[in-house]
Amino acid sequence: MLLALPLVILSAVLTAQANIAHDAQAVSRRHPRISVPRPPLESPKNLKKRKSCKAPTTSKTTPKATKATSTTHISTKKTTTTTKKKAAATPVTQIAVAGLIKVTDNSCGPSGATTKISSSAGPNGAEEWLNCGVSGSGWKPPFMTAKDIISKDLGDALKDSNSPFKACAAYVSIFEKYAAQHGLPAIMLASFAMQESSCNKDTVGGNGEQGLMQITKDKCGGAPGGNCRDPDFNVKTAAAYFANNLDDNGGNLLLTIGQYNGWDVGLTAKKATSVRYSDCLAQQNLDYLHQFLNGWMQNVDAYSAGLGTFHNLDVCPGKK
């Protein structure tokens, strides 16, 4: 009896250990992380998903593409660093351009125009020049007129099977009609439509902007049948609005294009992006000028080509 007792105790201990091991394996199958103990002092991993427009990680390093400044400019996709990076000058398209803009501004210097269209430059100047002052004390748009800029002819652009303006084919005669009335190139009006609505006449913006040209509701008076998205009315209204602003600005085309996207003299990157965590899509697109003048007006899809160095709208929910 005395000899058998230790054997009984040993058997019970071995059975209990086997049951514990089995239970641990079962738990690990249901909850894999439980089966891997965290080493002492290891910081918990952050598994929380980032909410829409929640502030992403911010780098303390001075942005490469800006002069000494503490302003943070850029939000990139997901949780990447929100600093403005200097884009490489690698051409994004080999499309032939019609020449280079011949404008030098007293404040902003030479245009930095290039025959190759890249994420940061093109025939109508470098983005840094078009955005002169935005990364510092405020935007000082270089003076240029409609006659100064380099652009494709809309009819010629549509002969290219890869033209982004194929989406606008149904409205070409409308663009040509109202562009001629105001002394503007037809591709300029079509470029607004591509930039604003991708030439979708039924587009309604986040603040109620209407149609191809995304005109605001206050401009909808007199729309046929109350339909502000009627293509002819929409383009006619936008063209007249733009032409009037151009006259008011003394012919300064760059200023007037910027104003179409809510820019104005003195705009800074800090101000433009100040609402990115509260009303993200209400930001001014800081790549707007480069995308417009060196993208769309050259028959290049500015979005597919990834034109720009800021990309401050890329983090916005609902961004197409």
pLDDT given at position 136: 97
**Domain residues of the chain, as ranges?**
4-35, 91-298
In which band, very low, low, confident or very high, does the pLDDT at 320 lie, cut at 50, 70 and 90? low
pLDDT given at position 33: 27
- pTM, full prediction: 0.71
pLDDT given at position 90: 60
> Which of 283, 287, 281 has the alpha carbon at shortest distance from 318?
281
Q: What percent of the chain has pLDDT over 90?
A: 67
The per-residue b/e assignment along 97-121, b for 16 or more CB within 10 angstroms, e otherwise, is beebbebebeebeebbbbebbbbbb
pLDDT, tens only, 210-249: 999 999 999 999 999 999 999 999 999 999 999 999 999 9
Identify which has the larger pLDDT, 45 or 152.
Answer: 152
pLDDT, tens only, 265-298: 999 999 999 999 999 989 999 999 999 999 999 9
13: pLDDT strictly greater than 50: no
Number of Cβ atoms within 10 Å of the Cβ of 50: 13
For residues 91 and 116, the answer to whether their CB atoms sit within 8 Å is yes
Please report the DSSP string for 214-263 in residue order: TB-GGG-TT-GGG-TT-HHHHHHHHHHHHHHHHHHTTT-HHHHHHHHTT-
Q: Which CATH number fits domain 91-298: 3.30.1490, 3.30.70, 3.30.1050, 1.10.530?
A: 1.10.530
148/254 Cα distance (integer angstroms): 11
174: pLDDT strictly greater than 50: yes
Instruction: Calculate mean pLDDT across residues 154-158.
Output: 97
pLDDT given at position 281: 87
Instruction: Calculate mean pLDDT across residues 61-89.
Output: 39
In which band, very low, low, confident or very high, does the pLDDT at 43 lie, cut at 50, 70 and 90? very low
Identify which has the larger pLDDT, 81 or 305.
Answer: 305
143: pLDDT strictly greater than 80: yes
Identify which has the larger pLDDT, 34 or 62.
Answer: 62
